[in-house]
C-alpha cells in the first residue's frame, strides 16, 4: 500500500543523497491509480507516477530526479503550466476536465498535517474577513445569498439553518459536524477529514461566529482511525496558531472544537440520535425540536 511506498521513498532518498521534501497528501480522487507518487522539480510541473510499488521507487526516483528520464507506462500525467513531454495533462482527463472542486479543492494537493500549507493557499481568509469586516448577521445573510446547501439528501439551505440557530436561546450553543457516515462504502465526509480537515474547522468556526456558538463537535464513527487522527492533529495545530480557543485572530470571539466518537450504529447518523449519543445516551432518534 501507500504506507510501504512512503517508507521506501524516504529510505531511497537518503541512500541516493537526494535533498527533497516529502509531503503526504490525501486522495486526489483517481483511486484506480493508487498508490500515486508525484514529483515536483524546481520550476516544473507535478509529474504523477501511478500504481507505484516499493520495488519500483528507486529506479523511478533516481532516473527522473537525476537524469530526467521516466518510464512512460508508469506516468499518469502532470499538473502545472510547464509541459512535460510524453505525459498527458491531467486536467484534460475526462474524469477531471468537467470538475470544479470546492469542498475537495485541496484534496490531493495539500498536506493535511500542515496548517501552514493551508494558510499559504488561502486558508482562513474567510474567517479573517468574517471577524474583521462583518457582523454575525451579515455572515448569515451572505450564506443565504450564496445558496449553499447541506451535502445530505435533503439539501437543506445552510443559511436558513444558521438563522434558526441565531434565534434560539443560549448560551451555550454548539456547532455539530455530522461525519458519522454509516452508509456502507460511503466516504464523502471521511474523505474531507483525511484530506483537508482545516476546511471543516474553518467552516465550523465561521458558523460559530455567525450563530453565537462557543463550541463545536465533530461527530465521527469510532474505528475510522485515519480521519480521526487527522482531525485531532488539525485541531491541535489550529489551537497552537490561535485559530481555535480564546480571542481568535485577536478578536473578542472565542470558539473551540472537539471530537465525539460514536459506536457502530447506522441510526447514529440521524441528527437527533447524534445529539443523544453526544449527551451520553443511547443513539436513538427523538421528536423535534430537541
Q: What is the mean pLDDT of residues 73-102?
A: 92
Q: What is the pLDDT of residues 118-137, one digit of tens each?
A: 999 999 999 999 999 999 99
Q: What is the mean pLDDT of residues 107-123?
A: 96
**Domains of the chain in sequence order:** 2-97 (3.40.30.10), 115-278 (3.40.50.11540)
Coil/strand/helix, residue 6: helix
Position 138 scores a pLDDT of: 97
For the chain, the farthest-separated pair of C-alpha atoms sits apart, in whole angstroms, at 67
Q: What is the mean pLDDT of residues 237-242?
A: 98
Weakest-pLDDT range from 5-19, 242-256, 267-281: 267-281
Residue 23 has pLDDT above 90, yes or no: yes
- Give the confidence band of 289 by pLDDT, cuts at 50, 70, 90: low
Residue 151 has pLDDT above 80, yes or no: no
The whole-chain average pLDDT of the chain stands at 91
Q: What is the mean pLDDT of residues 180-208?
A: 89
Coil/strand/helix, residue 75: strand
Asked if residues 76 and 37 have their Cβ atoms less than 8 Å apart, the reply is: no
Cα 189-260-225 angle, rounded to 5 deg = 60
Structural element, H or E, at residue 259: strand 256-262
Residue 268 has pLDDT above 80, yes or no: no
Q: What is the pTM of this model?
A: 0.90
- Give the confidence band of 290 by pLDDT, cuts at 50, 70, 90: low
Residue 170 has pLDDT above 90, yes or no: no
What is the Cα–Cα distance from 238 to 233, expressed in whole angstroms?
9
Look at 28 and 287; give whichever has higher pLDDT.
Answer: 28
- Give the confidence band of 212 by pLDDT, cuts at 50, 70, 90: very high
Strand pairing report for 256-262 and 215-221: parallel
Tell me the residue ranges of DSSP E strands in 16-114.
37-40, 46-49, 75-79
Percent of the chain at pLDDT > 90 equals 65
Amino acid at each position: 500500500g501507500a504506507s510501504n511506498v512512503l517508507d521506501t521513498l524516504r529510505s531511497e532518498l537518503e541512500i541516493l543523497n537526494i535533498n527533497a521534501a516529502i509531503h503526504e497528501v490525501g486522495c486526489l480522487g483517481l483511486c484506480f491509480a493508487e498508490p500515486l507518487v508525484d514529483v515536483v522539480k524546481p520550476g516544473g510541473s507535478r509529474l504523477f507516477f501511478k500504481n507505484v510499488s516499493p520495488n519500483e521507487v528507486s529506479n523511478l526516483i533516481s532516473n527522473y530526479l537525476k537524469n530526467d528520464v521516466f518510464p512512460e507506462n508508469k506516468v499518469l500525467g502532470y499538473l502545472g503550466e510547464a509541459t512535460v513531454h510524453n505525459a498527458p495533462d491531467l486536467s484534460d482527463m475526462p474524469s477531471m476536465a468537467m470538475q470544479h472542486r470546492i469542498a475537495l479543492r485541496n484534496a490531493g494537493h495539500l498536506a493535511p498535517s500542515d496548517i501552514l500549507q493551508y494558510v499559504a493557499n488561502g486558508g482562513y481568509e474567510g474567517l479573517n474577513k468574517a471577524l474583521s469586516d462583518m457582523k454575525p448577521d451579515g455572515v448569515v445573510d451572505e450564506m443565504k445569498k450564496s445558496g449553499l446547501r447541506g451535502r445530505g439528501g435533503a439539501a437543506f439551505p445552510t443559511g436558513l439553518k444558521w438563522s434558526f440557530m441565531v434565534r434560539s436561546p443560549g448560551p451555550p450553543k454548539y456547532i455539530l459536524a455530522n461525519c458519522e457516515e454509516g452508509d456502507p462504502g460511503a466516504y464523502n465526509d471521511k474523505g474531507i477529514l483525511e484530506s483537508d480537515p482545516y476546511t471543516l474547522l474553518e467552516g465550523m468556526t465561521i458558523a460559530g461566529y455567525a450563530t453565537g456558538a462557543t463550541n463545536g463537535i465533530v461527530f465521527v464513527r469510532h474505528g475510522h482511525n485515519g480521519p480521526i487522527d487527522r482531525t485531532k492533529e488539525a485541531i491541535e495545530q489550529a489551537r497552537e496558531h490561535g485559530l481555535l480557543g480564546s480571542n481568535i485572530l485577536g478578536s473578542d470571539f472565542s470558539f473551540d472544537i472537539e471530537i465525539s466518537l460514536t459506536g457502530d450504529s447506522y441510526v447514529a447518523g440521524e441528527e437527533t440520535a447524534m445529539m443523544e449519543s453526544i449527551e451520553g445516551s443511547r443513539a436513538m432518534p427523538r421528536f423535534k425540536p430537541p
